[in-house]
A and B are shown apart, each in its own frame.
Chain A
Amino acid sequence: MNLVIFSGPPSSGKTSIILKTIEAMRKRDLQVGVVKFDCLSTDDDILYEKAGIPVKKGLSGALCPDHYFASNIEEVVQWGRRRGLDLLITESAGLCNRCSPYIKSIKGVCVIDNLSGINTPKKIGPMLKAADIVVITKGDIVSQAEREVFASKVNSVNPKAMTMHINGLTGQGAFELSTLLYDEDENLESVTGMELRYPMPSALCSYCLGETRIGDDFQMGNVRKIELGDMDE
């Protein structure tokens, strides 16, 4: 089995791209399945099911979805193998700009859209910087100039990645992506022992542990204070 990890900001077009890409692979007679990781809720599983794609979802609830991903990916890989999949795709909603789900030696794809603003590549951190392939969507609704500026910003934070423009609505470019995802010589049996590409933040504060009361007395562990800078004068 092959594994590919998709991540990207909310509503950037991950599901649309994955659906179009799987559709483009139909003729190759490959069994493809998807697992969606999200925080509070998702209807993506219904979309995949409608397209006849085996799907599972995992909701992280109180946890950062990427932490939840790291704790569950081995189980998910084993599910894929039991289902006899040739290719397992995971879709993670990149809700936390600090974390990213990519694993060393597993293909990582970041989906980001032209509408998110030119400062987004600067802001989203390892989710974009550590990806092997960056897919840029929604090029159909912005100007050529904006597409070029956006792509050049992406390139400066991740010059190693291959950048592709794909239209999530018409699927233009999805066939091309589909040729890059599956390698028949690769046979993944387990991800145990593999490493995340980028460490997740190690800090915990009392609010991570369930504290709800506000005030200095209740703040423990890694506490950091905002600098407002107007008390010195």
Chain B
Amino acid sequence: MTINKILEKYPFAMSYFVENKLDVENHKEKTFQEFLDGFTHEEVEDLAMDKEELAENLEIFIDQMKEFLGIKEEVGVRSLTILPGFDKSGSPEGFNELTISTSQVISIVGPTGAGKSRLLADIEWTAQKDTPTGRSILINDELPDKKWRFSSNNKLVAQLSQNMNFVMDLTVMEFLQLHAESRLVEDVEGTIQRIIRAANSLAGEKFQLDTPVTALSGGQSRALMIADTAILSSSPIVLIDEIENAGIDRRKALNLLIDEDKIVLMATHDPTLALIADKRIIIKNGGIAKIIETTEEEKEILLKLEKMDTYIQDMRSSLRNGKTLSV
């Protein structure tokens, strides 16, 4: 097949040529092999090329991308099931089976060192009694496909945590374009508009498409990260390690993830977040000690907590705007 044909059939192959520094522009009538054979011995050494491997990898790359596109069309992940293992002392965990479906939010609570991160890692690795906890993970009630462990484009889990920052030197627009392209999105423009709208509805102050991502405020970057993860990330499960209060509407943020059919697990010490969840997992000594469903009474408490949160938020913005507070 000529390079032209390859690109016609698999437009994404261009990123393979670009990342491997292969300038195919004036060689599109050739097959890839002919193109590679055009390099002299010296050029090969100069560019640190491995012709055989480049040819082999192109095929693997195309297969992987085809698979990736195929997965996007499939029904995808509908549920995640955790089967019990053992705590750090070797005693069985205190639950039989926990199934979490898309659009559910589960919170994880427990003291430092109790094993919250280990639980998240078990999910990420689709544990099959082969981690220190002995837990197993099922996807859609079945043994998970190996691809969740081994392929770089099909990661089961996306993560959001406190310490995350943007580090790329790009504007919001360029940044989202780059991400959309890497996810092989068809309607790039439309997707970007959706993300911006969602992000602006989470953050207090709106931002522009030509703002560098590194210049966004804390609240704005958090909002953009959440909107981007909800809409663009291909990972069906989102693990959240605390969302701080500053500058974003946390309830809306969770709703956005739910609306995009994500399964949300959230490690938190914040009572409001813990109670927004449908259920909470109590971790003690490395094991899941209990799973508690949020009660009606707790939902009432949640309303109060949210009122307090709003009260504090209002005070904060009044102070910021130079007002004097009164009772």
Contacts and interface: CB of A to CB of B under 8 A. Distances in A.
Interface of A: 27, 98, 114-115, 117-118, 121-122, 125-126, 129-130, 134, 139-149, 151-160, 162-163, 165, 170, 172-173, 175-176, 179, 198-199, 201-203
A143 B19 contact: no
Contacts of B50: 126, 129-130, 198
B73 to A, nearest CB: 19
A160 to B, nearest CB: 6
Given A125-B48, A144-B158, A154-B152, A149 B179 contact: yes
B32 to A, nearest CB: 14
Contacts of A151: 152-153, 155
Interface in B25-56: 45, 48, 50, 53, 56
B158 A156 contact: no
Given A142-B166, A151-B152, A156 B20 contact: yes
A117 B167 CA distance: 8
B215 interface: no
4 closest A-B pairs by beta carbon, nearest first, are: A163-B152, A156-B19, A152-B182, A155-B152
A92 to B, nearest CB: 17
B149 to A, nearest CB: 8
A134 B151 CA distance: 11
B229 A144 contact: yes
Contact of A156 (B15, B155, B160): B15
B72 to A, nearest CB: 14
A173 B166 contact: no
B16 A156 contact: yes
A226 to B, nearest CB: 14
B255 to A, nearest CB: 18
B19 A157 contact: yes
A121 B21 CA distance: 11
Contact of A176 (B125, B176, B232): B125
Given A142-B164, A148-B233, A163-B152, A175 B19 contact: no
Interface string B48-67: 10100100110011001000
Contact of B165 (A143, A179, A203): A143
Contacts of B233: 144-145, 148
A97 to B, nearest CB: 8
Contacts, number: 123
A142 B152 contact: no
A134 B229 CA distance: 23
Interface stretch (B116-124, B186-194, B308-316): B116-124
Interface of B: 15-16, 19-21, 45, 48, 50, 53, 56-57, 60-61, 64, 117, 120-121, 124-125, 130-132, 149-153, 155, 158-161, 163-168, 175-176, 178-179, 182-183, 221, 225, 228-229, 232-234
Contacts of A201: 45
19 contacts: A115-B167, A126-B48, A130-B50, A140-B164, A142-B166, A143-B228, A144-B159, A144-B225, A145-B175, A145-B176, A145-B229, A147-B159, A148-B183, A149-B178, A151-B152, A155-B64, A172-B120, A173-B125, A199-B45
B165 to A, nearest CB: 6
Given A139-B159, A142-B166, 7 more contacts: A125-B48, A126-B48, A143-B164, A170-B117, A172-B121, A175-B121, A176-B149
B57 A158 contact: yes
Contacts of B176: 145
Nearest to B234: A148
A140 B163 contact: yes
B19 A141 contact: no
B48 A198 contact: yes
Most central of A139, A144, A145, A153 by chain B CB within 10 Å: A145
A148 B182 contact: yes
Contacts of B120: 172
A202 B20 contact: no
Contacts of B57: 158-160
Contact of A145 (B56, B125, B131, B232): B232
A121 B121 contact: no
A158 B233 CA distance: 21
A157 B175 contact: no
B25 to A, nearest CB: 17
B19 A121 contact: yes
A175 B164 CA distance: 23
Contacts of B228: 143-145
B117 A172 contact: yes
A89 to B, nearest CB: 21
A126 B165 CA distance: 30
B179 A141 contact: no
A117 B153 CA distance: 18
Contacts of A202: 45
Contacts of A141: 163-165, 167
Contacts of B179: 145, 148-149
Contacts of A149: 178-179, 182
B318 to A, nearest CB: 31
Contacts of B225: 143-145
A60 B63 CA distance: 42
